Chains A and B, each alone.
Chain A
Amino acid sequence: MMTKYDRVLLAREKERPTAGNYISNLVTHFVEMHGDRRYGDDRAVIAGIGLLEDEAVTLIGIEKGHDTKEKIECNFGSAHPEGYRKALRQMKLAEKFHRPVICIIDTAGAYCGIGAEERGEGQAIAENLMEMMMLKTPVISIVIGEGGSGGALALAVADEVWMLSNAYYSVVSPESCANILWKDTNKAAQAADALKLTATDLLEMSVIERIVEEPRQYQYDIQNDIFYGNLKKDLLGKIQALESLDVEQLLENRYEKYRKIGRNNRVTI
């Protein structure tokens, strides 16, 4: 029986496909766009446009990289504020051209650093939360590996949030949680249990809408075509359903989805 912490470790497996792999397997004619038009180009975030079958979609992914060189280039998948602003810029373009948005999330968290703070990491995340809530086009976010706190949420205010069966999505990493509460990072497994951070837990709590089953646990290569083919089909189906709603209804549903999280019936004014 796999523990919750086993899944956290699987979510961090070096061999797992990254956001870039998903993009190249899901769409054709992909054109990557760079920069936030404010300060720089954050390589931790890949953003661009591609064809999902015959539907043009905007794709935004947090990339961890494969080899050492790539990993350093994309800062191990921890984005600076420029990354979130680059994502938002592409989302606003998607809204303008009526393209659905697919966000692919795999991050231990937004980057903790001097420059990131000085350029407003918190402000960049906050702006994404506000803007994504009212973005006038369908948004689907998929957590493919790590869903690390605010850095993940900044791309996960969506009509639907999906998770891979071995991904995790958490308010805090189990190690930090164990350190803060029990001053002992060795109790990470206990913290993982307490945090309820697996796809199954979060589906039950209505934090996510769908679990994407991983082929034979984490041996992606064997059944690549089937895995990505199914995912593409599911995405297309959901996009069509979301596009059939008028925009007001789409936004109302999105707002209500978050509005009911932790709703307390005793709060009335």
Chain B
Amino acid sequence: MNLRGLFKSADNVLEGSPNKNDGTGKTEEKSYVYECPNCKSMLTRQGVREHDYSCPECDYYFHISARKRILMYADSKSFDELMAGVESENIIGFPEYDQKLLDARKKSGEKEGVVCGRITIGKMPCCIFSMDANFMMGSMGTVVGEKITALFEYATRQQLPVIGVTVSGGARMQEGMLSLLQMAKVSGAVKKHSDAGLLYVVLMTNPTTGGVEASFAMEGDIILAEPNALIGFAGPRVIQQTLKKKLPKGFQRSEALLKCGFVDDIVRRIEQREYLEQLLLLHGGRAQ
């Protein structure tokens, strides 16, 4: 008997408004059963969540929102969001951009493509930014650039490390050169934070490309990647079109970047929280 199609798609089940599952609805969760898109194991929503949104059987990574990602690392109730509620405007009057912003807000449940704040991990304080793939593919416009820049400036003043989780298609076309220049603006703030002797850890997730990869994603003191994430400056389709030949297997994936010397380590999702805690500890992190 073919059971496929009888169950909701796993990705859909895990989506929805960010905080809907917190606190209530636990009994409902247990009753949800769906199959892993990769290994076809039968999973429960709760089981997947307890496994940091990866399949307990095959380590398949479900898509997670920026906010869930932060909550996954943060000590319980420690997340203090900064700059919430700032929204983009159609600053250069780009056609169809207003509608795209409305759609992105609806799809992601967020005001913009990055969530920023303060958290503690193992009681050690740090700043964190986390990009959201559901907001115009994590593209960087002026608000994303401004929020990340302001977060680095705040972290410099507060003498705090920064953890950055990237997922992005690059600079946001609809804001023209103003979005390209965010690469320079953020880089300046990263440099000042770095010159102040403070730690910046990047975790690149699938995909991290274009102007984000070519700026703050590659500027960490320590650069980590999730397994099998697509990471590169040019997208593989563009390269394939330019060269008119097939690209090597595993090209632009985390494992290839590790081999070429561009990431420090590849960290499984289930191990990330502990890994980050250890890095904070090794850089003089003190429990509050």
Contact = CB atoms under 8 A, between A and B. Distances in A.
Contacts of B191: 130-131, 133-134
A171 B184 contact: no
Query: How many residues of A sit at the interface, in one of the four size bands?
Result: 35 or more
B251 interface: yes
Contacts of B281: none
Interface in B54-98: 82-83, 85-86, 91-92, 94-96
A258 interface: yes
A171 B173 contact: yes
A196 B92 contact: yes
Which of B143, B188, B213, B233 has the most C-beta atoms of chain A within 10 angstroms of its own C-beta? B233
B218 A126 contact: yes
Contacts of A130: 187-188, 190-191, 194, 219
B183 interface: yes
Contacts of B147: 267
A259 B213 CA distance: 20
Contact of B195 (A123, A134, A171): A134
Interface residues of B, number: 65
B42 interface: no
Interface string A20-31: 000000000000
Contacts of A169: 177
B247 interface: yes
Interface in B139-190: 141-143, 145-147, 149-151, 154, 171-173, 175-185, 187-190
Interface in B205-225: 210-211, 213-219
Given A194-B94, A262-B185, A129 B142 contact: no
Contacts of A205: 92, 177-178
Given A130-B190, A130-B219, A267 B150 contact: yes
A126 B239 CA distance: 20
Interface of A: 110, 112-114, 116-123, 125-127, 129-131, 133-134, 149-150, 153-154, 157, 169-172, 177, 180-181, 190, 194-197, 202, 205, 207, 255, 258-259, 261-264, 266-269
14 contacts: A110-B234, A113-B243, A117-B232, A122-B213, A125-B215, A126-B187, A127-B218, A171-B176, A171-B180, A195-B177, A262-B142, A264-B142, A266-B85, A267-B150
